[in-house]
Amino acid sequence: MHRRHFIASAAALTSSVAAPTVWAQSTPKLTPLKFTLDFRVTGQTAPFFLAQQKGYYREEGLDVNIDVGAGSVASITRIASGVYHMGLGDISSLIEFHAQNAGTPLVQAVYQYYNRAPFVIIGRKDRGITSDFASLKGKRVAAAAVEATRRAWPMVARKLRMPDDHFAWSTTDFSARDNVMVRGDVDAATYFHDSAVSLFARMKTEELSILKYTDAGVNLYGNAILASNAMVTQNPGLVAAFLRATNRALQETLANPQPAMAAIKQREPILDEKIELERWRLTAQYVAAADTRSHGLGDVRKYLLEQQVDQVSEVFGLKNRPSAEGVFNRAMLPSIADRTLKA
């Protein structure tokens, strides 16, 4: 397939050091693009590293730098500040951000990575926690201070007609969450379902109850690829190029994840490919959820996104209700043919 190259100019994102004249005449320049993950390098985001390793970004004229993140909420402020051009961040948090920053969107979702949010609370059965959210009553639940699963809890409580304080939060760092669960310092903890693989390696799954937000009837879109207003308005071709390359790698990872696991192993040699493969298998259930069969990877159903906007607005008492179109911009998506599930 012919790939368009987007050559950096005086208006490009970042100036490049001039190459020797002999090369400048024959080698196209690559446009630098800074991308922030939502968290660490893991199997959850392996397609981005596969695209980088196999040169898909370079084929699109991009020199992509991928950095680790500080949470799916923090990605939004990183992009809004201009430090990063694009990144991976939570849609519900983006809705809140739009409500608090009315006017021209500073950040927009441009590709829906998690077609369903993988939000779960995992509880210890020996503390009386079952698959029923009611069993969390009066328990201690660990979560980071600012993270998407914790932020979304009031929507579950509202759906199940439970008080927001059905249980007590125990604030902890992401890195300490497994430890406090294993030691029994808390009764349960919030996770992205696929992030819990590290816990499953230390506790037997039969000792744990997994309470999925989707089982409570809360169908939320999860982390999406986000882009800054400057990228969307001034460089939409660059956004489209990034999405084409990423979508290409995502399709390949869904069909055969092994090369993508090798790609993240190259980036982070300490990773265990077997564990990351198991993590990806969980991720794939949320990335390629059932309704992606009808509209393809990366897109959303407008009415479901509008419902999510309504839920977030009502639960958090937002004074300004963002529009679904303002939150999610589908103009730069790859073609439906490229996004149709092939695996």
pLDDT at 166 over 90: yes
More confident residue, 337 or 23: 337
The secondary structure of residue 41, as a DSSP letter, is S
pLDDT in tens, 228-246: 999 999 999 999 999 999 9
H/E element, 227:
strand 223-228
Answer for the pair 30, 63: CB distance below 8 angstroms, yes or no: yes
pLDDT at 95 over 80: yes
Answer for the pair 289, 116: CB distance below 8 angstroms, yes or no: yes
Q: What is the pTM of this model?
A: 0.87
Terminal Cα-to-Cα distance of the chain (whole angstroms): 20
- Quick one: average pLDDT of 255-272? 97
pLDDT in tens, 282-333: 999 999 988 888 899 999 999 999 999 999 999 889 989 999 999 999 999 9
Q: Hunting for tokens 């937000």 — which residue is that?
A: 213
pLDDT in tens, 102-145: 888 999 999 999 999 999 999 999 999 999 999 999 999 999 88
Of 213, 223, 202, the closest CA to residue 121 belongs to 213
Q: Which amino acid belongs to residue 222?
A: G
- Quick one: average pLDDT of 44-63? 97
Spatial distance between the Cα atoms of 30 and 172, rounded to a whole number of angstroms: 41
Q: Which amino acid belongs to residue 221?
A: Y
